Chains A and B, each alone.
Chain A
Amino acid sequence: MPPYKIPKRVKFRKEMRRTSRVNRNATRGNYVAYGEYGLQSLESCWLKSNCIEAGRIACQHFLKREGKLFIRVFPDKPVSKKPLETRMGKGKADVDYWAARVKAGTMLFELAGVSEVRAREAMARVAMKMPVRCRFVSRRMSV
């Protein structure tokens, strides 16, 4: 599986899993900031880089050159996995994939320059590629 999007440089090759930090609610990056409409995650997960790329392709193939897509998450977490039928031990395994830490409420994608109807259709296609429940949102009311 080719890595679709990975960091250019990292401080360490591998990192600890930190699974206790997964099931939490987003306090940052949880509102539409750049576009007019967005796709918001309702669950938390480690979103693989190929899922993000699949979402991007699904959206851009549907919209052609219409509108602008913002990807609000970046896969900066290396996740390692031991090969099948390998005994435990012998050190930490190689990096299997890169993932973005997604919490409930995280804005995954945003769209600008399209009508709401088109944005809903595009985001429905993106949501099909996501491993978590998502919903379509627009900008919050301003006070």
Chain B
Amino acid sequence: MHEDAPIISAERRERVGTKYAKRLRASGRLPAVVYGHKEEPVSISLDRKEAVRMLTRGERVFRLSLDGDDKQFVLIKEVQFDHLGTDVVHADFARVDLDERVEVRVPISLIGEAKGLKSAGAVLMHPITEVEIECSLFNLPDEIEVDISDLDVGESITAGEITLPKPTMVLLSDPDTVLATITTVEEEAPDEAATVDADAEPEVLTRKKDTEEAGDKKPEKKEG
């Protein structure tokens, strides 16, 4: 399956650290690291445009072309973004063999129209967008489809309920993790803010000491 994995050309980074990484990024390169298989981690740099194009296309397994050798397969493990989440600033790759079992996070795709969404105020919530599974690299799925057509208001689908595409795959995420649930949005009071007292102040936890020192009154509430 991944014999035709895209080749990503890399250069070895001789100088590492924030200063040199910034210079690399300014010159259109993307700092990255390759590790795994009990070998020394290698700091590399990639062509930023090429790497981002491949990542946005959904590619996860690459053939790394480094020092004239392009036989090493690598799996993308992590991508770091800048503070605005627009630019990729770093990428982690793990060395893998094609017959190896790997632990990967696979995105979830919700299919079907939930029957609970037909009622007024119902909202589909899916806080988790990916699950972690263990599978062989040959069977690495692009996404896992979860059918939500039977989901009603108040019901939820957990990670333990989904059917993995292959029986050899093992779910590593917590089986109780909620993947999708349908909740009803409660109508808020129209002038909720106006009901707040204008002189409202938060309770001050250290105020008790002041009153004790002054010796005026006993504190109204004793904090535990």
Contacts and interface: CB of A to CB of B under 8 A. Distances in A.
Interface of A: 1-13, 25-27, 30-31, 33-34, 40, 42, 53, 57, 60, 65, 67-68, 95, 103-105, 112-113, 137, 139-143
A30 B85 contact: yes
A31 B84 CA distance: 8
B83 A2 contact: no
Given A2-B193, A142-B107, A104 B205 contact: no
Nearest to A54: B193
Given A8-B203, A65-B121, A60 B188 contact: yes
A6 B105 CA distance: 39
- For the complex of A and B, 5 pairs with smallest distance between CB atoms: A113-B123, A25-B83, A105-B83, A9-B203, A2-B198
B18 interface: no
A142 B130 contact: yes
B204 A3 contact: no
A112 B187 CA distance: 16
Given A6-B200, A112-B123, A142-B130, A27 B83 contact: yes
B: interface residue count bin = 35 or more
B204 A65 contact: no
B220 interface: no
Contacts, number: 96
Given A2-B193, A53-B193, A141-B56, A40 B84 contact: yes
Interface string B130-151: 1000000000000000000000
Interface string B62-103: 000000000000001111011111000000000000000000
B21 to A, nearest CB: 16
Interface of B: 55-56, 60, 76-79, 81-85, 105, 107, 120-125, 127, 129-130, 183, 185, 187-188, 193-194, 196-198, 200-207
A2 B197 contact: yes
Secondary structure call for the A interface: loop
Contact of A104 (B56, B84, B127, B188): B84
B127 to A, nearest CB: 6
Given A2-B193, A11-B204, A68 B185 contact: yes
B196 A2 contact: yes
Given A31-B85, A143-B55, A2 B187 contact: no
B198 A13 contact: no
B103 to A, nearest CB: 13
Given A68-B183, A139-B129, A9 B205 contact: yes
B120 A65 contact: yes
14 contacts: A2-B197, A5-B193, A6-B200, A6-B201, A8-B203, A9-B205, A57-B193, A65-B121, A68-B185, A105-B84, A112-B125, A113-B125, A140-B81, A142-B107
Given A2-B193, A141-B56, A143-B78, A12 B125 contact: no
A67 B184 CA distance: 9
